[in-house]
Amino acid sequence: MSEREDSNSESNAMWGGRFAEGPSAIMREINASIPFDKALWHQDIRASKAHVAMLAAQGIVTQADADAISAGLDQVAGEYEANGVPENWDLEDIHMTTESRLAELIGAPAGRLHTARSRNDQVATDFKLWVREACVAVDAALGALQVVLVTRAQEHAASIMPGFTHLQTAQPVTLGHHLMAYYEMIGRDRSRFVDAHRRASQCPLGSAALAGTGFAIDRDVTAKALGFAMPTRNSLDAVSDRDFALDYLMAATQCALHLSRLAEELIIWASQPFGFVVLPDSLSTGSSIMPQKKNPDAAELVRGHSGRIAGCLTSLMMTMKGLPLAYSKDMQDDKPPVFEAASLLTLSLAAMTGMIDGATFQTERMRNAAELGFATATDLADWLVRQADIPFREAHHITGAAVKLAESRGLALDALPLADLQVIDARIDQRVFAVLSVDASVASRASYGGTAPEQVMARIAEARRDLGLE
């Protein structure tokens, strides 16, 4: 028998007696998922062991066969751990690969493992287990980033910098306040992954191909053994559901967008015109021809990864958008975008955590930028409203004239002589200088959630308690 005939026979044995001929080379290649779904081998072994233990407990297979299968699965797992998962495309996927090797090891009892299940509920279970574990892993990585953000924010709770709108200097804030804004974003990201994990708490195993099974299985037992809260309630939905994967990708995309925003700020701040931050050498690169360059490549790649992660979400949404119940082969393409997004997000989080932890913030330059950007103009307008009882629109016009004068002289607002301010409007008096400095402006923003250092420190204290740092 030729090698091709032998591989056809092996594939036919898996497909059963329905087909007279083996698959064509094209069908073999397009049908095989083992190059990527081999990543599920841990989950596949775990779910198979839970399934066969339940079958034995229910008297559907003998305990002797169940013990042989379980021991054989442990041996297969050891081989995978030591040597990786072999890629025989004729075996199509991780499920057939494992079952085939199990049969080589223990013989006929291996054929009883697939009793009362289908590859449809098997892959849904394995993939959901993988996604649940990925949610837990990313939550831990997000928590580590939050710790670094809070730590650096505490160092700079009173470090003044310009706050921007439209990337134009708006009002002075503190660097600690700015960093804590990202702490809040990351907190929302964590909540989305927690929700995704919770919604993926129903176990598909035992739904079989699409209609359930006639065997007297106990799905509660397998669900509990695998860490799920309960079995899925509808077998059609169970084998065709990929909402859990979309939930993960949606959370990953939102998280990547937040990381991209922070990366963009680091890129801008690290540029010479700004000079607000020096990024760690370990996460920067140089130029092949310009020796003065220090490029924020890690930040740029985090920014770039956000587009790829969003693309992974779009890919799976388009795959799922028109599928009738129940399983369709299109769903084989569900795993690559999730695996890719998870890998990119993990790398992005590690890079961002390292950048924030190792960044050197140039606080004097930040403060100078706030002072030269007329960031206290709103404070002058507010003072005119409060102290001189001037309507805000008129106060806005007066303040604009003061800014124009300061700009023409290259001065900060609080450096303008009182006499010059009174030329603009006689109602301005000496008291105005109490609000025109950046320090006074920041200190005055003491409303809950504001940038006043006392408020920033209060939010940091809350965050440290939430993170278990106190």
Task: Provide the annotated active-site residues.
Answer: 166, 287
- CA 366 vs CA 186, 372, 444, 459, 465: distances in Å: 24, 10, 19, 22, 29
> In whole angstroms, what is the distance from residue 109 CA to residue 65 CA?
6
Q: Which of 163, 166, 178, 181 is nearest to 374 (CA)?
A: 163
61 vs 49: CA distance, rounded Å = 13
**Distance between CA atoms of 177 and 254, rounded to whole angstroms?**
22
> Do 125 and 420 contact (CB within 8 A), yes or no?
no
Q: Return the structure tokens found at 299.
A: 């930040």
CB contact at 8 A, 377 and 399: yes
Query: How many C-beta atoms surround the C-beta of residue 292 within 10 A?
Result: 7
CA distances 30 to 23, 24, 34, Å, are: 10, 10, 11
User: What's the sign of the alpha-carbon dihedral 50, 54, 55, 57?
Assistant: positive
205: left (phi over 0), alpha (psi -120 to 50) or beta: beta
Return the exposure string of 391-419: e unless at least 16 CB atoms fall within 10 Å of the residue's CB, then b.
eeeebbebbeebbebbeeeebbbbebeee
CA-to-CA dists, residue 307 to 182, 186, 257, 334, 400, angstroms: 19, 18, 8, 18, 41
Residues 406/438/166/455 CA torsion (nearest 10 deg): -160
User: CA 243 to CA 232: how far, in whole Å?
Assistant: 13
Distance CA 252, CA 166 (A): 27
Structure tokens at 250: 């949606």
